[in-house]
Structure 1
């Protein structure tokens, strides 16, 4: 379950005036498609060197999230309203639905709420600390207040300006994950044929 939360992101477009969480939710709804690259670093207790990975992601408002890790090995995660699918090279896809794993599938709704900045759902699961940093920059700190999130994570911190630029995840075991997003693009506003196939697979 922890690894699924590493893919939480949002395309939050902001203006130059003071930014609020409601602004982020409203402005995200106006971005039908976001494409970006990511670089992830995980620091794990007991390991001398951090684990680094990177790849591409696609968020389509109507279809869901497609997360493609390219290095150090290929890994695909697909998240839609009805299923979560993880695909690793040489292995059968792992499919999670509401019927075959109800508890895990609850994370599906939570993940959707996170990358849509759904304030109502976020407030049900986290204590929120939103800060306007000026000139369009913002920070949102999420402290879990319900189980099992509060047994897994100390906090999740999101930082952004025009887009979500960084996620920092601190867990209860003392491990940390830092994800940076860059080269964000919102055009074309429609999915290409190749991108549509990601969600049809």
Structure 2
């Protein structure tokens, strides 16, 4: 009877560990999400300012198209990122286009945003030391410590946490300021863009 109990306990232990979250498993999970839509709330804490600066809006990540990020409060600001350029639109102003040739540092940083949302291990390992933790019950945390310039001059660390999706990003910079972004209402269906969503990437 004791042997049977020990065997059942061992089998249970193996089963639990078989479900442990790894960075490779996380990347595979995100790879199975070709389209992710979500709401975001951003809170920035700056030294010398008593209240945090808050903003919110919607985002769309599409593997074939890029990242569409629209801040809707406190003012309208739209960012469109793909492999070749970044477009920034403030309010009703004309779009500002940034390419790797015109502003390599800014383009490189913004290009990394897509890698964060897709948990692209190859891209992340080029720029950060990775500290991945399985926090149990399918929750995970990934701490990124910059190791390349200019990221290592700007940030102390970037911490990603989530479960099925990326739920939270915390950016801590060298000045002691921080930016926390929380994602909610994530949806992956339909897994293709509507006509209206496709038009968001046409600028």
Normalised by the length of structure 1, the TM-score is: 0.88
Structure 2 Cα separation of the partners of residues 55 and 160 of structure 1: 19
The superposition leaves residues 159-188 of structure 1 with CA deviations (integer Å, 9 ceiling, x where unpaired) of 001111101110001111111000101111
Which residue number in structure 1 is paired with residue 147 of structure 2? Answer: 145
Question: RMSD between aligned alpha carbons?
Answer: 1.3
Structure 1 Cα separation of the partners of residues 24 and 55 of structure 2: 32
Structure 1 Cα separation of the partners of residues 108 and 154 of structure 2: 15
Give the number of aligned pairs: 186
Which residue number in structure 1 is paired with residue 137 of structure 2? Answer: 135
| Alignment partner of 1:168 out of 170, 175, 182 | 170
SS at the partner of 2:97? Answer: strand
More off after superposition, 149-158 vs 26-35: 26-35
Which residue number in structure 1 is paired with residue 180 of structure 2? Answer: 178
Q: Given the superposition, is the C-alpha separation of residues 171 and 34 from structure 1 closer, same or farther in structure 2, using an over 3 Å criterion?
A: same
Report if aligned partners of 1:66, 1:76 keep a CA contact under 8 Å in 2: yes
Structure 1 Cα separation of the partners of residues 97 and 110 of structure 2: 12
* Greater fraction of residues in helix: 2
The superposition leaves residues 43-88 of structure 1 with CA deviations (integer Å, 9 ceiling, x where unpaired) of 0111111101101000001000000111011110100111101100
Which residue number in structure 2 is paired with residue 44 of structure 1? Answer: 46
SS at the partner of 1:84? Answer: strand
Larger Rg: 2
1:20 correspondence with 2:4: no
Structure 1: give runs of 5+ residues left out of the alignment.
1-15
Report if aligned partners of 1:32, 1:60 keep a CA contact under 8 Å in 2: yes
Instruction: Give matches, 1:106-117, under 5 Å.
Output: 106-117=108-119
| Alignment partner of 2:58 out of 56, 71, 79 | 56
Structure 2 Cα separation of the partners of residues 112 and 187 of structure 1: 19
Q: Given the superposition, is the C-alpha separation of residues 109 and 88 from structure 1 closer, same or farther in structure 2, using an over 3 Å criterion?
A: closer
Which residue number in structure 2 is paired with residue 10 of structure 1? Answer: none
Normalised by the length of structure 2, the TM-score is: 0.87
Structure 2 Cα separation of the partners of residues 171 and 102 of structure 1: 20
